[in-house]
Amino acid sequence: MFPKLGGLLASTLAVFPFIESCSPVVPHYFRAADVSRTVTLAQVQNDLGKFLSKGTQIFGPSSPNFANATDRWAQSSMPANIEVVIEVAQEADVAKIVRYCYQNSIDFLTYNRGHGLKNTLAKFQGIQINLSQLTGITIQPDRNSALFQGGVYADIVIDTLWEQGYIVSQYGLISDDFLSLNVVLANGTTVAVDSSSHSDLFWAMKGAGHNFGIVTSAYIKIYPKVVSTWHYHNYVWSQQQLETVFEALNKFQGKGQIPALMGVNFGQFSIYPTINATEAILTWSFAYDGPAAAAEELLAPFNAIPNISSTMGDVDYADLLVAQGTDSNSASCQPGPFVGSSAWLQTYNVTSQRQIYNSSNEKIAQNPGLAAGARVFLEGYSTEATQAIDPGTSAYPHRDEYLLVFILVATPPSLVSFSQAWADETLALWRESEPGRRPTTYINYAVGNEPLESIYGYAGQLPKLRALKAKYDPQNKFRWYNPVVTD
């Protein structure tokens, strides 16, 4: 399970102290890939060291900090050659580094938590800008918003806000709650971006921000917590219950009708050797923003299905990820050399789910060594608030998509072709399960072989994004993660 707030701001937010106030429009349009050049650690230390804040670290591959600083969740998308890492101590440092790279034709990549399956990441060579020290969260005087620095991620956000009586869930997409973004553009210019300042860029940042700038901090709406605990219920079922479970899920969630307080429900097919070493089991977890009695009333159909195990409890929201097994230390969040594919669905086709389950067992039987790192994930979220937003206010294109599904297989090099064929077959079954609908892909789960329209939408979003790209990043410096303009 990928953390939903992992790297929350790094590729979608902006800069706080304004270093420069020149025009954000760069005057020429050409491919950055044609002009980028290599750098050395000594060169960067000499050129930049004296201009960056105290506490900023500049190091290269020989440093003991390098491996941890460049580690990626999907090791198969590891950049080809990170020559220098700069771990910034202040937001102002980001603009200085980007301006230096722009003036010297050096490629740069912003790093927060190392998420991303996209194959374009593997092509990067240049300077990596780490935001890991920028983890400040400041509740604003209005008590309705907070300033988040660009290095925050799920655990920090959830824990900090919960301790102070706030949450950010249940209110639509995180990007729907953006108030203002402090953004460093490709030429090192810093701009404040909101509905009245660079409003065209604000639209683009809410759904495709990694193509346009580095968000070093952002003002985002927050909401007071209403209850003191969330109720969770985790189930384990054998494959004999598969059809019954998915029929119950379809009745429970309809098409985009998951009850608003049932914030998340998700499951997976995977091998648990302590239960069955050769046959995948079906696990599912529900999380409800409220008391157990109300949650269990909704879950009565699932309680009626015979299970291998059933566990429940009531916890602080800050402890919910651990209870559901999706925290950063959980097995499903550990890094690996992953191969995979992903799709959106509106409902579960029960027949297709059985085919995908059977296929998974067959593939593992052919290569048992893949069993420990192979999972088919299925996620559902309450989308009432997301659907209520005018789709024209942001570049995000998937407000009518409700269920997120994907397969990941941790794969050694010798079995990449085998695992990719497995992932492709699974994706085809999902797409065929809803005939007449065009392919759609969640941007954070894209692997690199999807049509760009499936990521950015079929309603004219992509041409508009490319026009804005020519305006704000004509050299295509931000092209490493789901680029709207490819080389």
Q: Where are the beta strands (DSSP E) in 70-124?
A: 81-87, 108-111
Q: Where are the beta strands (DSSP E) in 45-169?
A: 57-59, 81-87, 108-111, 125-130, 137-139, 145-149, 166-167
Contact residues for 142 (Cβ-Cβ < 8 A; gap 6+): none
| 371 pLDDT higher than 80 | yes
Q: Are domains 1-227 and 230-315+337-446 of this chain identical in fold?
A: no
Q: How far is CA 26 from CA 109, 185, 338, 366, in A?
A: 19, 10, 37, 54
- Domain 230-315+337-446 matching CATH 3.40.50.10860: the answer reads no
* Range of lowest pLDDT (96-100, 155-159, 402-406): 155-159
| 7 pLDDT higher than 70 | no
Instruction: For domain 1-227, give its CATH number from 3.30.43.10, 3.30.465.10, 2.160.10.10, 3.40.190.10.
Output: 3.30.465.10
Question: How far is it between the farthest Cα atoms of the chain?
Answer: 68
Q: How confident is the model at residue 117 (pLDDT cuts 50, 70, 90)?
A: confident
Q: How far is CA 79 from CA 19, 46, 109, 124, 426, in A?
A: 29, 24, 9, 5, 27
Q: What is the mean pLDDT of residues 130-149?
A: 97
Q: What is the mean pLDDT of residues 51-56?
A: 97
At how many degrees (to 10) do helices 416-432 and 350-366 cross? 170
pLDDT of residue 33: 42
pLDDT of residue 363: 97
| Separation between Cα atoms, residue 210 and residue 204, nearest integer Å | 9
The mean predicted confidence, pLDDT, of the chain is: 90
Q: How confident is the model at residue 335 (pLDDT cuts 50, 70, 90)?
A: confident
* Range of lowest pLDDT (16-25, 227-236, 402-411, 412-421): 16-25
* CB-CB contact of 333 with 2 (8 Å): yes
* CB-CB contact of 135 with 223 (8 Å): no
Task: Select the more confidently predicted residue: 122 or 309.
Answer: 309
Q: Where are the domains positioned within the chain? A: 1-227, 230-315+337-446
| pLDDT tens-digit readout, 217-272 | 999 999 999 999 999 999 999 999 999 999 999 999 999 999 999 999 999 999 99
- In sequence order, the β-bridge partners of residue 314 are 231
